[in-house]
Structure formats: C-alpha cells, structure tokens
Amino acid sequence: MLRKIVQIDQEKCNGCALCVPSCAEGAIKIVGGKAVLSADNFCDGLGACLGECPQDAISIIEREADSFDEAAVAEHLAKTNANMQALKPLNSGNGQSIAEHSGCPGAKAFSFSAPAESSDATPKQKSQLRQWPVQLQLAPVSAPYFKDADLLIAADCVPFAYADFHKDFLAGKAVLIGCPKLDDNRFYQEKLTELFNVSLIRSVTVLRMEVPCCGGLVMAVRQALAASGKDIPLSEVTITISGEVKE
C-alpha cells in the first residue's frame, strides 16, 4: 500500500542513535554504525523521531510499504526487551571486556585496567572549579561568573575519562556540563543562545567524548552561536574512552 513512512539518509547519518529511544515502536536500530528502519510494518509514519536527529537525516516520505502492524510491534518489543536482559559479556581480544550491543555506539560497555599508581609521591591536585552550579540545565545565564569569561562546555563523562581535566582544561574558565544523549538538545541550544546574548563570553571550548552522540553537544553550541549572531572563537577537543586527547 502507498503510505507515509520514515526514510533515513545514510550519507547524513553518523550513528549517534538519538533517534532510537524516540521511536516507541522500536522501528529504528543501529546497523554498521548507521540508523536503519527495522521493518516497514514497525513504523507508524508519524515521525516522532524527526526532531531527535542532529544531522537532519530522517524524513517522512510516501512510498509503497507494508501496513503498520501493532501486533508485530508488540512482539518485536517483547523480543527486544528479552534480548537486552540476556546480554552476555564477551572478550574483545585486547584486554577489554565488552558486552553485546546493537544500539547506540556510545552505550557499548567496555572495561579496561586503570594505569598502575606511581611509586613517587605526587602532590594532591587542587580543584580549579570557580563556580556553582555547573550543570547546563541549572546554571543561570545571568550569573556573574559568565561575564567576560572563557567558557568550557564539557560532556558529563569527560572529567571521569580525562585524569588531568582540572589542570589542562578547567583552570581559568567558567564551565557548563551536560549530556545531549540524556537531556533535551533543543533546550541546550536555546539556553546557550541566551547565554551568548546576555554575557560577554570571550571564547568557547567544547570538550566532548569520542562517541557519536556527543556530537550533539557541539551541534547545540554551533547553532546557538549562529542564532546569537556573536562572533565568539570556538574550539573543539575530543577525548577518547581510554582518556586520551584524540588528534
């Protein structure tokens, strides 16, 4: 039958998987690092996933497709939930333990050994945090610590992955942290636009993890800068899961 259905542009898709949880029918999955439609009859064609794609890779088109099947969706969701409960640990062959995972690349489970502690006595590092709150959701845009500040916008996971976060990145900066995977990226964009408009931000550094979904944070900052019309220098730094700066 001819009906409306989701179409995913594979050239634009970067595999961030922000669209996956937005589809209540489980019609979208990640295969080979790209979002794909699981089956035509799982998609209701209403487009709840459209606003979740930072790459604008999802659209609604009209084409020949199987009818939407609620019974098939219910069976599919039940099977998916059962599979999630049955995840088994695997060994990657390089000393890292991983778990089977077919969803967001940023949610793939890894475990690896922390480096051995040095026998040399090293002085305790001092915190470089100069403000509170730090969550992008909570910090007021009119806070005095944003005035004429160099702003660091960091993904939540970065300080845990990068050991010298305070010394190498936080020192001397105002900071905001957030997660585009768990929060509303549209809210991030709107709040940052307001912040850029009301505060004399001198520079912005975005510190993200290497996982694709973290790209949403960079996108929110770029869109906010464009919407504000401010010419603020922007730099982007990517941290690997193992805690290194990615060149």
- 204 part of a folded domain: yes
Q: Range of 47's domain?
A: 2-86
Q: Is 121 inside any structural domain?
A: no
117 vs 233: which has the higher pLDDT: 233
* pLDDT of 101: 44
Whole-number pLDDT of residue 180:
82
Residue 80's CATH number: 3.30.70.20
Mind listing the pLDDT tens digit for each residue in 218-240?
989 999 999 999 999 999 999 99
26: CB partners within 8 A, 6+ apart: 38, 42, 73, 76, 77, 80
Mean pLDDT, residues 27-43 taken together: 88
Question: pTM score, two decimals?
Answer: 0.62
What percentage of the chain reaches a pLDDT higher than 90?
51
- Domain-terminating residue out of 37, 53, 86: 86
Structural domain count, the chain = 2
Handedness of CA 117, 206, 138, 200 (dihedral sign): positive
Average pLDDT over residues 84-90: 47
- Domain end position, chosen among 46, 61, 86: 86
pLDDT the model gives residue 112: 56
- Please determine, for residue 105, whether its predicted confidence score (pLDDT) is greater than 60: no
CA 148 to chain centre: 28
Assign 90 a pLDDT band (cuts: 50, 70, 90): very low
How would residue 185 be classed by pLDDT, with cut points 50, 70 and 90?
confident
Whether residue 114 lies inside any domain: the answer is no
Residue 83 and residue 65 in contact, taking contact as beta carbons nearer than 8 Å: no
